[in-house]
Amino acid sequence: MKKLKKFLLTFGFLAPLTTLPIISAACDNKKEETPKEDEELNKIKSEHSALKTKIDTLISSISEKEKSKKDLQKLLDDTTKKIADLEKQINKLEQKSQGKNEKPLGDEPIVSPQDPTISEEKTEEAKNSYEGVQNDANSFSSSDLSDPKYSEIKQTFDKEVEEAKKILEEAQTEENYKKAKEAIEAAKTKAQKAVEEAKIKEKTEEAKNSYEGVQNDANSFSSSDLSDPKYSEIKQTFDKEVEEAKKILEEAQTEENYKKAKEAIEAAKTKAQKAVEEAKIKEKTEEAKNSYEGVQNDANSFSSSDLSDPKYSEIKQTFDKEVEEAKKILEEAQTEENYKKAKEAIEAAKTKAQKAVEEAKIKEKTEEAKNSYEGVQNDANSFSSSDLSDPKYSEIKQTFDKEVEEAKKLLEEAQTEENYKKAKEAIEAAKTKAQDNLLKEKVKSLKINDLQFDTYGGNRAIYFEITGDKEIINFFTSDKKSSGVIIHNSANTEKPQDTIYFDREPNLFTIEESKIIIHANLSHKPNLNYSISKIQLFKNDKKYDLNLDGKTLKFNTSDDQNKYPTKDAE
């Protein structure tokens, strides 16, 4: 209660509250002269009691700091007015009953707000408030104004604070503390405003620089990224929107307007970039579509031509199905990605089909090569068992059979077309070699008979017959392109060995059953002795030696005899 009373005494407008106990006591001491006066006095006491309760509530609310000063002042004003009215009524009643000797209520002395005790307290409070503001000013100066860019503001503020301090040099009164405090607060408000303006200016400059950067970027974007004629419409719209953004600054070049203009340009650029991106997507989608359609057409052609053979029907059926599946991708959305997916799916299907066709062809060719090989192998077996069955050909047969077995081993690695061909060729080569060796053996069975020398019309010629197996005779005479050579020794010439060719058709002029009659012209001079040591037949670029039974055939070109018997070799 002491603190509350001190509080009430401090604020002068609460002084009327001190009269309430006096009023209450006065009301209790009154004499009731008449029932009417008693009734009136009781009524006043009741009203007075209600006011007292109201004041108690007010004091409680003040102690709990639940009411504002304004509400309190209004309530006190109303209470003071009612107390004054009550005092007048009580005084009237007392004057009626006792005369005018007693001192009227309301004249009791009330402690004045200007009491020295109260004045000292207020001065102390003003000082404390001032010092708080001063400390706050020092903190504000050393922190909020520490940035060099606020140096001028700081200098002014510090100067004004010092000026405020000088007020207290005159007298450290409540009023001076208040004045000094208000001066510092005003200086701070002014400095804060200056800082705020500086910040606004700074932010405006930043916003301007940011705006100009965006504007320059927009100019570059327009002149480069939108330079392609296909973006002309986008460029026109973008440039127009940039110009509209610039007009914002014609109203006022504030931070907000710079930001608005910047944001407008950025929005225009974003919109243009999106439009460009959409145009590119559309263009790429069109390219992807064209590419897809090309692949699709190629697939149709591939199906109708490359896969038209009935043997590829299964491959064709699978391929056509996969192409149809690829087309379904575009039913979802005809985007660049889907066109690419569909294209790739068709290409993959074609690659797969081509591989299947290739494998089918390889299989087919391998089968053909296998059949061909088996035919050659069967022929080789027949050749070995029949043509080489004679024991006198056993060596040829042994070599041939061995080479055929070596050829078969090629298929042990892999039964491929290539290996079947290699094996076949190896067997064919072995057979050709065996046939050649067999022929050479058979040629040795041919005999030379009836060797004659003749002169006619100055020409010299020899005649002889080749007899033997009809098959061998036919081998050399069937195409009339066989030829031969007679190798002889001549002691009377510069050439110890000479060759007589009978490679012209007239020389091979008579073909009888199992017989060849040879007529070969001689170009040597007369009276020469001939010793024939070898006779060879040519066929298919190969030479075959005739069997002379180890004899040497001799004659002299000067002899008039038309026939010369052969002589045994020495």
- Dist CA 155 CA 133 (whole Å): 18
pLDDT greater than 70 at residue 2: no
Strands of the sheet containing 459-467, edge to edge, are 447-456, 459-467, 515-522, 510-512
- Dist CA 187 CA 190 (whole Å): 5
Please report, for the chain, how many H helices and E strands are present, in that order: 16, 9
Look at residue 259 in the predicted model and tell me its pLDDT.
92
**Burial class of residue 31, CB neighbours in 10 A (0-12, 13-18, 19+):** exposed
- Dist CA 80 CA 19 (whole Å): 10
Span of 109-113, 205-209, 390-394 with lowest mean pLDDT: 109-113
pLDDT, greater one: 337 or 563: 337
pLDDT, greater one: 315 or 70: 315
- Backbone phi and psi for residue 484, each to the nearest 5 degrees, phi listed first: -160, -175
Residue ranges of domains in the chain, CATH in brackets = 123-306 (no CATH), 374-440 (no CATH), 446-555 (2.60.40)
459-466: average pLDDT? 69
Look at residue 6 in the predicted model and tell me its pLDDT.
42
> What digits encode the pLDDT tens for the residues 404-425?
999 999 999 899 999 999 999 9
Residue 542 pLDDT grade (very low, low, confident, very high; cuts 50, 70, 90): confident
pLDDT greater than 90 at residue 471: no
State percent of the chain over pLDDT 90: 47
Which segments of 221-312 does DSSP mark as H helices, in order?
232-246, 248-251, 255-301
Q: Is 310 helix (H, G, I), strand (E, B) or coil?
A: helix
pLDDT, greater one: 7 or 282: 282
- Dist CA 22 CA 105 (whole Å): 8
Look at residue 379 in the predicted model and tell me its pLDDT.
96
Task: Choose the most confident range, by mean pLDDT, from 11-15, 91-95, 417-421.
Answer: 417-421
Residue 211 · residue 256 · CB < 8 Å: no
Largest Cα separation within the chain, whole Å, is 219
> What digits encode the pLDDT tens for the residues 209-262?
999 999 999 999 999 999 999 999 999 999 999 999 999 999 899 999 999 999
pLDDT, greater one: 16 or 415: 415
Span of 23-27, 169-173, 189-193 with lowest mean pLDDT: 23-27
- Quick one: which of 377, 366, 515, 363 has its CA closest to 448? 515
Could you say which DSSP state residue 491 is in?
A: T
DSSP string, 87-130: HHHHHHHHHHHH-S-SPPTT-S----TT-HHHHHHHHHHHHHHH
> What digits encode the pLDDT tens for the residues 348-391?
999 999 999 998 988 898 999 999 999 999 999 999 999 999 99
- Dist CA 399 CA 383 (whole Å): 13
Residue 476 · residue 539 · CB < 8 Å: yes
pLDDT greater than 70 at residue 150: yes
- Quick one: which of 177, 176, 173 has its CA closest to 130? 177
> What digits encode the pLDDT tens for the residues 474-522?
777 776 666 666 666 655 455 545 555 554 444 444 455 566 666 666 6
CA torsion through residues 336, 337, 340, 341, sign = negative
Residue 567 pLDDT grade (very low, low, confident, very high; cuts 50, 70, 90): very low
- Quick one: which of 189, 178, 199, 201 has its CA closest to 140? 189
Residue 538 pLDDT grade (very low, low, confident, very high; cuts 50, 70, 90): confident
301-328: average pLDDT? 93
Look at residue 446 in the predicted model and tell me its pLDDT.
80
Could you say which DSSP state residue 17 is in?
A: G
